[in-house]
Structure 1
Amino acid sequence: MSGKKGHGKAASGKKTGRAATPALQVCADVGVDHEVREFDHHTTNYGEEAAEMLASEGIEADQIFKTLLIDLAARKEPKPDLAVAVVPVTGRLSLKHAAVALKERGFGHGKASMAKPKDAEHSSGYITGGISPLGQKHRLPTIIDETALLCDTMYVSGGKRGLDIGLSPQDLISLTDATTADILEGH
């Protein structure tokens, strides 16, 4: 596991040519202050695994967020109408809350389901377990759970399994043109 801070710098401190993932490239391109955390992954429960691995570096589980793609399309529509939801790994997404919050912002019809993995991968350009809200192939409406605003630094997938990016919630909101709302179950 390693942690690096900077603006697209390698562990050696030298500027890298091209970032390893589109998410890292976005951070490098705009010069946003961020840190990179890499770890070996061994499970299919990527969010919990990231929380366990990053805990050894003093990072609290409620600072680590998962990126989920949801489908806002009416059931009859053959084509998905996708959006991004970013929630803490310690919580569970409320599809109803997310759909209502996105509808209030002009997206969808007030209902949502989880996107099919193949649709999420095709739209984002990332594989399941490594989907980042940053640098997606197709820019989608993005909503971040409001608990992110309680963090100085939040961690999201860096675009591949075992890679997380730490950045301020305000920077993530700005880079993804996201809005925040209470989108957790039980709230």
Structure 2
Amino acid sequence: MSRKAGSATSGTPAIQLLEREGVPHGVHPYEHDPASDLSYGLEAAAALGVDPSVVFKTLCVEADGELTMAIVPVSGSLDLKAVARAAGAKKAHMADAALAERATGYVVGGISPLGGRKRLRAVVDASAFDHDLMYVSGGRRGLDISLAPADLVRLTGASTAPIGKDS
């Protein structure tokens, strides 16, 4: 795994944060197909040739009114009750896409848990630690970054909990 300073993709806030913090990471661009029937995350896994269990999607939820990032494998789905518990909230529901985009500065399908406009509470699914590396959005559609789960948790200030469920 290497840092790719000076590459054409180094301009995203997520990658700039990783470079500034000296965090080892990989930069993985791929050709995003807007006509694909796959979800953004499953499209990334297929394009990169990696198991979907190591590719994580960043979903924005409102937990008792507080915008929270839930980071779960693309091979499953988010358990809203579990993320509410992990966030210390009574209820959680998916946030409005426009609200998520305004708060993070990223577009849906390219929301990275790193380098967002606002620092949001984050919860990472505990399964991330089953892997040495995980992949998350690099801040735009067609760009993923790989890094150690512990580095993601540290940089986001995330808690970890079993918030994902099999689809």
- Per the TM superposition, whether the score is higher than 0.5 is yes
Q: Which has the larger radius of gyration?
A: 1
Residue 63 (structure 2) aligns with:
72
Q: Which residue of 2 aligns with 1:124?
A: 104
The separation in 2 between residues aligned to 1:175 and 1:93, in whole angstroms, is 22
Q: TM-score, normalised by structure 1?
A: 0.82
> Which residue matches 1:133?
113
Gaps of at least 5 residues in structure 1 are 74-79, 104-108
Displacement after TM superposition at 1:81 (Å) = 1.9
Q: How many residues align?
A: 163
Specify the alignment match of 1:48 in structure 2.
42
The amino acid across from 2:2 in the alignment is G
Alignment of 1:67-146 (within 5 A): 67-73=58-64, 80-103=65-88, 109-146=89-126
Cross-structure match for 1:175: 155
TM-score of the pair, normalised by structure 2: 0.92
Residues 4, 27 of structure 2: 8 Å contact kept: no
1:167 is matched by which residue type in structure 2? L
Question: Residues 65-109 of structure 1, C-alpha deviation per residue, up to 9 Å, x if partnerless?
Answer: 000000113xxxxxx520000000001100110001110xxxxx3
Residues 8, 27 of structure 1: 8 Å contact kept: no
- Aligned twin of 1:166: 146
Once the two structures are TM-superposed, the CA of residue 184 in structure 1 deviates from its matched residue by: 1.6
Partner of 1:76 in structure 2? none
**Structure 1 vs Structure 2 CA RMSD:** 1.7
Aligned equivalents of 1:50, 1:185: Cα separation in 2? 20
Correspondence 1:150 to 2:153: no
Deviation (angstroms), 1:61: 1.6
CA distance in 2 between partners of 1:170 and 1:6 (Å) = 17
What letter is aligned with 2:45? A
Match in the other structure for 2:25:
34
Report the alpha carbon displacement of residue 110 of structure 1 after superposing the two structures with TM.
1.9
Q: CA deviation at 1:60?
A: 1.8
Report Cα offsets for 1:116-173 as digits up to 9, x if no partner: 0000000000000000000010001100000000110000000000000000000000
Determine helix, strand or coil for the equivalent of 1:137. coil
